[in-house]
Amino acid sequence: MNTNVKRSYNGFTLVELLVVISIIALLLAILMPSLSKAKKLATDVTCRSNLKGIDLLYGVYLQQNNDRYPTSYRFTTGIGMPENSPMLDCWYSAIWKNSGKNNDAKFFLCPAATKPEVNGQGHPVASYDASYFQKGLPHFSYGHNDWVLSRWNMPNESGLSAYAKTTGFPDAATEARAWKSRLSAKNPSKNPVIGDSSYPIATDVAYINTPPNVPRFSGDHGWVDSQNQANQMKRFCLDRHSLAVNWTFMDSSVRKVGLKQLWDLQFHRDWNPTHKDTDAFMTKMYPKVWNGWMRNCRNY
C-alpha cells in the first residue's frame, strides 16, 4: 500500500482571509455614508408625514370652529390642567382630542427627537412632556407658532385688564399681530403653524425692526429664556434635519425650512424685516453665530 499519498485541503490561507476582510471593510466604508444618508432621508420624510397628519387633525378642529384658530394656554403652575378643563382649547389639546386618543404616540414625535427630555425643554433631539401642560397628553416634539390663535387663554383673570378680559389679548397691539382665523391670511404659504420645536409654543417676537436672537448652538434654550420673547426663536431653530426643520403652513402645505430661513417666515402680521438680504443683515448683526454653527444652512 502506498502511504505517501498527498492530501488536499480547500481552506483559506491567512493571506486570502486578510484580503477578504480588507474587501469587506472597503465595501462598508463605501456603503456606510450612503446608509447614513438614507436613514436621515427616511427620518426627514417620516417627520413631514407626521406633520401632514397633524395638519389634517388641525384642519378638523378648524372646520368644527368656523375656521378660527385655537387659543393659547398660558399658565405658571406646572401641574397640568385636568383633561376636561374648559380652559383647554389649545393646539395640542385639540389635536389629541381629534385623534381619538388612539393614535400611536410616536405620531406626535419627530423621529429625530423621540428621547424624553428630562430637564423640561431645550434639547434639539428630545421631546417634551406635554402632560406638564395638560394631564393625559403624551410627549411631543413639535411646537406651535403662538401668533396663530384666536385668543390668549389666561386662567387667572383677577389681575387682567378690562381689555384682556373682553378680547382675550393683553393689549390691542398684541391682538393686531395675531392670525385669528385661517381666512385672515393673505400669504398663507409663508405663515408657519406647527413644526419642529423644543417647546409647545413660542410667541417670539415683535420682529419689526430688530430680529429675534440667534441661538449660540442647536438647543441653546432653557427656562431662563421662557419669558424673554427675543429668545423664543431658539425653540424652533434646532438642528434636526441637516440644519433644517419641518413645518406646516396656513395653506396646509408641509415643507422643509433651512434654519436661516426661519427669520424670513412671517410669524405674525407685523413681521416686517427692514432689510432685503437676510443673510447679509444677520451676518452683520450676529457674525459669530449666524456664520458659526449655522454657516452651512441652505434654502429650500
Closest CA to 207 of 158, 269, 161: 269
Would you state the torsion angle of the CA atoms of residues 222, 225, 227, 230, taken in this order, to the nearest 10 degrees?
-140
Q: In angstroms, rounded to a whole number, what is the distance separating the alpha carbons of residues 63 and 196?
A: 24
Domains contained in the chain, number = 1
Residue 128 included in any domain: yes
- Cβ(262)–Cβ(237) below 8 Å: yes
C-alpha cell at 38: 438614507
Among candidates 228, 221, 299, which has minimal Cα distance to 259?
Answer: 299
For residue 173, tell me if it sits in a domain.
yes
Say how many C-beta atoms besides its own lie within 10 A of residue 16's C-beta: 10
**How many percent of the chain have pLDDT more than 90?**
20
What whole-number distance in Å separates Cα of residue 234 and Cα of residue 134?
A: 23
Does any domain span residue 113?
yes
Separation of alpha carbons 206 and 119, rounded Å: 28
Q: What is the mean pLDDT of residues 38-66?
A: 90
Indicate the pTM of the whole model: 0.79
CA 189 to chain CA mean position, Å: 17
H-helix or E-strand spanning residue 44? helix 14-64
Strand order in the sheet with 254-258: 201-202, 142-145, 192-196, 244-249, 254-258
Instruction: Note whether residue 136 is domain-resident.
Output: yes
Range of the structural domain that residue 144 is part of: 43-290
In terms of pLDDT, which residue wins out, 268 or 153? 268
Nearest residue to 130 via CA among 145, 122, 142, 148: 142
CA atoms within 13 A on the CB side of 190: 11
In this predicted model, what pLDDT tens digit does every residue of 254-274 receive, in sequence order? 999 999 999 888 888 888 665
Provide mean pLDDT across the span 66-85. Answer: 64
- Kindly state whether residue 181 falls inside one of the protein's structural domains: yes
Is the residue at 9 inside a domain?
no
More confident residue, 127 or 136: 127
CB 95 within 8 A of CB 38: no
Instruction: Give the pLDDT score at 49.
Output: 94
Residue 57 in grid coordinates: 387633525
Question: What's the confidence (pLDDT) of residue 76?
Answer: 43
Q: Which helix (H) or strand (E) holds 23?
A: helix 14-64
Residue 91: the pLDDT is: 85
pLDDT, residue 107, reads 84
pLDDT at 55: 94
Name the pairing type of β-strands 152-153 and 72-73: parallel
Of residues 215, 87, 93, the one with CA closest to residue 153 = 87
Average pLDDT over residues 2-8: 57
CA distance 87 to 120: 23
Distance CA 288, CA 279 (A): 13
Q: Is 69 helix (H, G, I), strand (E, B) or coil?
A: coil
Give how far Cα 210 sits from Cα of 65, 134, 214, 229, 270, Å.
35, 34, 12, 12, 12
Residue at 143: amino acid letter:
G
Mean pLDDT over 127-138 rounds to 79
- For residue 129, being part of any structural domain is answered with yes
- Indicate the DSSP class of residue 24: H
Residue 221, in any domain of the structure: yes
